Structure 1
Amino acid sequence: MAKYLLLKHYRGAPKAVNDVPMSQWTEDEISAHVRYMRDFADRLSASGEFVDSQALAPEGTFVRYGGEGKPPVTDGPFAETKDLIAGWMIIDVDSYERAVELAGELSAAPGKDGEPIHEWLELRPFYGNAPTITE
């Protein structure tokens, strides 16, 4: 088994096919999207492939080491940026191919008008867990 992080980017680059900002979705469309994500996680929990997930608020702060004293802090990221991470999921699967399969399925979560959003998800193996590619 190998653990992978799926990073869900909000309107990231490259853009999703159905790239309508969530602020333009109806309450029912948002509920359907969240339900899809929960059902996906529940199914992976039942198969033993789900580890954890969390949605992230759009507000954030950048912090870095600044030498002595208090570290510098700046606002951001902002919802308008292409680099906003909306959430993450950790999966523990048998192969890289299975991780890609699940990321593709998660990418089909419904958005505006119930259409799959086809968003790009960043798939990253945990350090020390080299992906096993069988192709």
Structure 2
Amino acid sequence: MAKYLLLKHYRGAPSPVNDVPMDQWTEDEITAHVQYMNDFADRLRNTGEFVDERALAQEGTWVRYDGEGRPPVTDGPFAETKDLIAGWMIIDVDSYERAVELAGELSAAPGKDGKPIHEWLELRPFYGHAPTITE
């Protein structure tokens, strides 16, 4: 088994595939999208492939070491940016191919008018655990 991070990005600007930003979805469309993700996570809980997940607030702060004492802190990222990390899921699967399969399925979550959003998900193995590619 290998653990992978599925990093969910919110696109605040139109993309070639998902041309309707989430702030233009109806409340029912948002509810359907969240329900799809919850059902997906529940199914993975039943197979033992689910580890954890979290949605992230739109507000954030940038912090970095300045070498002098108190690190500088700036506002951001902001929801107005074109790309914002919206949340993440950790899965524990038998193979890289299974991780790709699940990421593809999660990418099909419904959006505006119930159509799949074809969202890009960043799939990353945890450090020290190289992906097992069986192809």
The alignment's TM-score, normalised by the length of structure 1, stands at 0.95
**TM superposition shift of 1:13:** 9.2
The 5-angstrom pairing of residues 1-135 of structure 1 reads: 1-11=1-11, 15=15, 17-135=17-135
SS at match of 1:69: coil
Q: Distance in 1 between matches of 2:55 and 2:84?
A: 12
**Gaps spanning 5+ residues in structure 1: where?**
none
Relative to structure 1, is the Cα distance of residues 33 and 92 closer, same or farther in structure 2, using a 3 angstrom cutoff?
A: same
Q: Residues of 1 paired with 2:124 and 2:13: CA distance?
A: 17
Relative to the length of structure 2, the TM-score reads: 0.95
State the identity %: 87
Q: How many residues align?
A: 135
Distance in 2 of aligned mates of 1:2 and 1:63: 31
Rounded Cα–Cα distance in structure 2 between residues aligned with 1:112 and 1:13 = 14
Q: Secondary structure at the match of 1:29?
A: helix
Q: Displacement, 1:12?
A: 7.4
Q: Deviations over 1:60-112 (max 9, x none)?
A: 00000011221001111111223310000000000000000000000000000
Q: Which amino acid aligns with 1:134?
A: T
Cα RMSD of the aligned pairs, angstroms, is 1.6
Contact kept, 8 Å, 2:55 with 2:86, in 1: the verdict is yes
Q: Which of 72-81 and 102-111 deviates more? A: 72-81
- Checking the alignment, whether the CA contact within 8 Å between 1:7 and 1:87 is kept in structure 2 is yes
